[in-house]
Structure 1
């Protein structure tokens, strides 16, 4: 089974540290991160994805996940990630190996791929995680030292 992720959630997985909208959301995010750590493939989608599932179940209609501000986050994330990941769009498939995660985390910490983070309620927390060299982040992929 393939993990589906909207573009801005590709950024969220870099700093995810066990906090979320609800206990169900956190359990689901933990499961997704474990799968990504096992290098399960992912497909970029526009609209609700694997991470959205608990919100959609709780809200019943995924209103948040279809909002214009969320769609704008995805557009900005695609734009910012293109120099690192190539020509990506909805339907693109990739695997988050350690080298790719390291490049993305470096760019994230430098602010180069944070256009999607504007006005995000998690901005300060993600900034703190990135500034601490991703200590506490649940995605464990690191380059071997």
Structure 2
């Protein structure tokens, strides 16, 4: 099975501790992370993904905004550059523990944060990175 993920959520998952917009959002996010921790592949999508699902019925849902699409584009370019491969929507891949560590290292150094500019979670994610990602829920299995 695969988990549909939009590009900027690949960055969000690096620091995910179990906090979010609503209890339903957090419960859903936990299920998504658990699936990834169990070894499911990621299918990159354009637009709302499995993490967005609880938000899609909200009247002010930001998941469709152009600013979020721009964030996805920036994240896709930055992640691809930092992993040394071209990533594009429609691609299915398995994020390895080594790649997760590599992305977290780049994130903590700031070279992977371009898509995070203007995000309401920026400060929290910065604190988590400064704390060596302690308590983060994404812990990929060894292949």
- Equivalent-residue separation in structure 2 for 1:139 and 1:15 (angstroms): 8
Structure-1 residue corresponding to 2:34: 34
Structure-1 residue corresponding to 2:73: 75
TM-score normalised according to structure 2 size: 0.93
**Root mean square deviation, CA, Å:** 1.6
- Equivalent-residue separation in structure 1 for 2:97 and 2:105 (angstroms): 12
- Equivalent-residue separation in structure 2 for 1:23 and 1:2 (angstroms): 24
TM-score normalised according to structure 1 size: 0.91
Is this contact kept in 1: 2:19–2:26, CA < 8 A?
A: yes
Equivalences for residues 21-100 of structure 1 within 5 A: 21-57=21-57, 59=58, 63-85=61-83, 86-100=85-99
Query: Would you say how many aligned residue pairs link Structure 1 and Structure 2?
Result: 141
Q: Which structure 2 residue ranges, 5 or more long, are not aligned?
A: none
1:11-48 C-alpha deviation (Å, 9 max, x unpaired): 00010011101000000010111111112001111100
Is this contact kept in 2: 1:102–1:142, CA < 8 A?
A: no
**1:140, distance to aligned residue in structure 2 (A):** 2.1
- Equivalent-residue separation in structure 2 for 1:97 and 1:118 (angstroms): 26
